[in-house]
Amino acid sequence: MTINVQRTRALFLMGVAGVVSALSAGCAAQKTHVVPVTQLRPAQEATKGQLLETYNAQARAMQSLNATAEFQPTAGSTYSGVIHEYHDFHGFILAARPSSIRVIGQAPVIGKNIFDMVSDGQTFQIFIPSKNKFLVGSATLAHPSSKPIENLRPQHVLDAFFWSEIPSGDPVLLEQFDATPTRYYILTALRRGGEGDAGAELEIARKIWFDRADLSIARIQLYGPGGRLDSDISYSEWPAQGTAPAGAASGTQQPGTSATLDFARDIRITRPQDDYQLDIHITKLALNQPIAPDKFVLQQPPGSELVHVGEEGGGGAQP
């Protein structure tokens, strides 16, 4: 009898030990992590009206730019299943309100032009020396090429720098969005669909993302009809307020304010419908300086082939 009691007690203790061990193992799998305070970005507060004024003030203030930049184009995406990375190149961007822009791309080291393109908002012209082709077409042409990088247009770059103001009275929604460790405010501007008839349904015109760490504009998304995302533009490396950016011309004083106009140094333009992405890193920047109108004139070089993009048999090759 004593042996049976001892055996039963031993089995009971073994069972208890097993349960405790299992519970301990389960508890060990549930760990608590403490995030260092230095990794948590502070979030500033702002109202919808304040955010609208910040955006509109920047949009109003930008009248011209003269930039030296480095470019990194990428064609294709994870959606298409094919990604092509092209050699980076450097070049220049000239832009002036309301819609004039010129972008010149040059090969590294030798500094030889690989393309020269201009647009006045209505038409575009592109000269490609290596192919000896001079292309012209409508700035609003929607004709995706089988080679995505060929869809690059000067006005796509213009949209990244010259923003349209949001008129007073237009419907705008405010949203808060957290993507740890960054927190955002998002303004969603709406418009009437179709031809803008009063009875038409509202649709998204654009979204403006503000980084709540400093309330800088981190992203702008531009939408076409029916909620189609046309451009997704991200901004980073904004110079600190009140400082002169390294390697760049000093900012321009905004009339009637103590603020200095400046711009992000890193811009990423993603065109999902055109299936390409363009990274722009600005190394030198001058804002609101006079630019002669003839800087936006591109004449067809003698002997080059004229190609009307979008017309029957016109082809679609771009840089």
What would the pLDDT profile of 129-180 be if each residue is shown by its tens digit?
989 999 998 887 766 556 555 677 889 999 999 999 999 999 999 999 998 8
d(CA 191, CA 97): 23
pLDDT at 289 over 80: yes
**Per-residue pLDDT band at 245 (split at 50, 70, 90):** very low
What CATH number does the domain located at 48-308 have?
A: 2.50.20.10
Quote the pLDDT of residue 15.
Answer: 42
Confidence of residue 8 (pLDDT cuts 50, 70, 90): very low
- Mean pLDDT over all residues of the chain? 81
Distance CA 49, CA 80 (A): 40
- Residue 152: per-residue pLDDT: 77
pLDDT at residue 75, as a whole number = 80
CA 133, CA 295: separation in Å to the nearest integer?
A: 20
Q: Is the pLDDT of residue 240 over 90?
A: no
Where do the domains of the chain lie? 48-308
Percent of the chain exceeding pLDDT 90 equals 57
pLDDT, tens digit, 9 for 90 and up, residues 170-224 = 999 999 999 888 999 999 999 988 776 777 899 999 999 999 999 999 999 999 9
User: In terms of pLDDT, which residue wins out, 67 or 152?
Assistant: 67
pLDDT for 270 equals 95
The mean pLDDT value for 37-57 works out to 88
261 band by pLDDT with thresholds 50, 70 and 90: confident
Predicted structure pTM score: 0.78
The position carrying tokens 């290596």 is 130
CB atoms under 10 Å from CB of 26, counted, come to 9
